[in-house]
Structure 1
Amino acid sequence: MREMANYKATYFKWHVEGGIAIISLDRPERKNPLTFESYAELRDCFRDLTYADDIKAVIFGSNGGNFCSGGDVHDIIGPLLKMDMKRLLDFTRMTGDLVKAIMHCGKPVIAAVDGVCVGAGAIIAMASDLRLAAPEARTAFLFTRVGLAGCDMGACAILPRIIGQGRAAELLYTGRSMAAEEGERWGFYNRIVPAAELDAEAIKLAKRLAGGPTFGHMMTKTMLNQEWSMSIDQAIEAEAQAQAICMQTKDFQRAFDAFVAHEKPVFGGD
């Protein structure tokens, strides 16, 4: 296992408060685009989070009033036009690996979205477990607007499971912007929060999760992801096994002891 409270990021902002890792991209003057370097570092960071016992929850936040404007036009899209198929596939696999790393990091990930959230930024929000939005948030899976397919970084698999096939098809075909209220109504956003309160609400939610049975949260996240490809019978059996494992944790005993004592349980994550 490793500790990440003192992790030093190069291409994005990172700090830890009480076991909660807070990440945001750090190019606010350009609405926080991604680069080859930030893609790779984020992928590696989320992979490392799998083994970080000192991190209980993650917030991927906004910076300067915007979440992420997608891949940088000059730093990414321009160079892509000069690459051969092998290098292009290396890149698209790397971007997909970021989504897999977010989904498999074992920690609840909260996206706190303000302003622009488009392209790969919308994908990062999509890959998160919970999503809060400021009223000004504008989310677009705009890949078709730059001549590409809507099937980017798992969008055609994940987005329909969040908002439904027809709604996902509309967003992925047209690349149009989804307003915050529409996103909440469709189930993409869990809640709309005033922009001035967005960070505080994300931290409040993360603290609630971090104070819970974090081993149980890891198992919940794992099952939410794995059961997409299971039959109902397989899912019920997988959950039976997962819950039996959780029943062997000290947190299960702590919850029982607290109930008997008429106290609030204090979980330890083991």
Structure 2
Amino acid sequence: MSLADYRAEHFRWELDDGVGQITLNRPDRKNPLTFESYAELRDLFRRLGEAPEVRCVVVSGAGGNFCSGGDVHEIIGPLVESDMPALLRFTRMTGDLVKAMRACPQPIVAAVDGVCVGAGAIIALASDLRYGTADAKVAFLFVRVGLAGCDMGACALLPRVIGQGRASELLYSGRAMSGEEAERWGFFNRLCSPEALVGEALGQARRLADGPTFAHAMTKRMLHQEWDMGIDAAIEAEAQAQAICMQTQDFRRAYEAFVRKEKPKFEGN
């Protein structure tokens, strides 16, 4: 089934002109996650690898908040009573969501307003670009519920985005970053007004969707793979990746459009 026909059960999903929009949609509770929504998000991001009709994805929350993390009553309560095998199944499932987000070829743009904490902060962190508001409050608050800051890849991802010292402070303290601080530290790519936030994120997504999506997917793959490469290995990997991109029709289209003094129209092949 094409994702154009997909009907999400635990959040909203829309696809318009190549841009998929995920809206976490429990605004009365600030959009917390449940066991079921974790799994459905993981499965959707996995499907995106075989969905050429989706060229970019925007993730946002309904009602002025992004996501309040795992639902206290529907997730935290049951986990307190779970045995070790069940706990490990859960933590691996949540990590699989992040793996699926990083592995899907489409760029992901997070539009973050209001509360963005716990697993919600991880979903924003695992996105490729993050647009926020001055009113956003971003917190990796695992320590405040007696857990380590190393959740869903936080200790790998966050230092790479904002630096080791700043990440250490946030993960040890569990305190919230304001929107302005998050932009200053590089967590947010841009601050927007709350009323313009989703529109700005969708506009960026449409610009990415209009671009050479095969090449965008290669950029995303190399950004991910080169984390554990030395510089010589990274340069060689990029040489191979770029040579592959030079075989695409989009590369030829760009050259021919330049010759005609026109703007290229990319098709993703």
Give the whole-Å Cα distance in 1 for the aligned partners of 2:79 and 2:219. Answer: 38
Report deviation, 1:3: 2.7
Alignment-derived partner of residue 173 in structure 1:
172
Residue 228 of structure 2 is aligned to residue 229 of structure 1: yes
Please list the CA deviations of residues 60-118 of structure 1 after superposition, one character each: whole Å capped at 9, or x if unmatched.
01210000000000000000011110010000000000000001110000000010000
Q: How many residues align?
A: 269
The one-letter code matched in structure 2 to 1:117 is: C
Alignment-derived partner of residue 18 in structure 2:
19
Give the whole-Å Cα distance in 1 for the aligned partners of 2:268 and 2:154. Answer: 32
Please list the CA deviations of residues 10-34 of structure 1 after superposition, one character each: whole Å capped at 9, or x if unmatched.
0011101111000011110000000
- Normalising by structure 2, what TM-score? 0.99
Alignment-derived partner of residue 159 in structure 1:
158
Give the whole-Å Cα distance in 2 for the aligned partners of 1:126 and 1:214. Answer: 22
Question: RMSD over aligned Cα, in angstroms?
Answer: 0.6
Secondary structure of the equivalent of 1:195?
Answer: coil
Residue 91 of structure 2 is aligned to residue 92 of structure 1: yes
The one-letter code matched in structure 2 to 1:152 is: D
Identity of aligned residues (%): 65
The one-letter code matched in structure 1 to 2:55 is: K
Paired residues for 1:143-222 under 5 Å: 143-222=142-221
Alignment-derived partner of residue 63 in structure 1:
62
Alignment-derived partner of residue 39 in structure 1:
38
Report deviation, 1:38: 0.1
Residue 31 of structure 1 contacts residue 116 of structure 1 at CA under 8 Å; is this kept in 2? yes
Secondary structure of the equivalent of 1:59?
Answer: strand
Secondary structure of the equivalent of 2:82?
Answer: coil
Give the whole-Å Cα distance in 1 for the aligned partners of 2:134 and 2:266. Answer: 35
Residue 13 of structure 2 is aligned to residue 6 of structure 1: no
- Normalising by structure 1, what TM-score? 0.99
Give the whole-Å Cα distance in 1 for the aligned partners of 2:116 and 2:68. Answer: 6
Alignment-derived partner of residue 256 in structure 2:
257
The runs of 5 or more residues in structure 2 that have no matched partner are none
Query: Which consecutive segments of 4 or more residues in structure 1 shift more than 6 A?
Result: none
Give the whole-Å Cα distance in 2 for the aligned partners of 1:192 and 1:245. Answer: 35
Secondary structure of the equivalent of 1:67?
Answer: coil
Secondary structure of the equivalent of 1:65?
Answer: coil
Alignment-derived partner of residue 248 in structure 1:
247
Residue 3 of structure 1 contacts residue 53 of structure 1 at CA under 8 Å; is this kept in 2? no
Alignment-derived partner of residue 109 in structure 2:
110
Alignment-derived partner of residue 73 in structure 1:
72
Secondary structure of the equivalent of 1:61?
Answer: strand
Alignment-derived partner of residue 53 in structure 2:
54
Secondary structure of the equivalent of 1:69?
Answer: coil
Please list the CA deviations of residues 182-209 of structure 1 after superposition, one character each: whole Å capped at 9, or x if unmatched.
0000000000000000111011100100
The one-letter code matched in structure 2 to 1:125 is: A
Residue 33 of structure 1 contacts residue 68 of structure 1 at CA under 8 Å; is this kept in 2? yes
Residue 34 of structure 1 contacts residue 72 of structure 1 at CA under 8 Å; is this kept in 2? yes
Alignment-derived partner of residue 125 in structure 2:
126
Please list the CA deviations of residues 231-262 of structure 1 after superposition, one character each: whole Å capped at 9, or x if unmatched.
10110010000000000000000000000000
Residue 71 of structure 1 contacts residue 120 of structure 1 at CA under 8 Å; is this kept in 2? yes
Secondary structure of the equivalent of 1:150?
Answer: coil
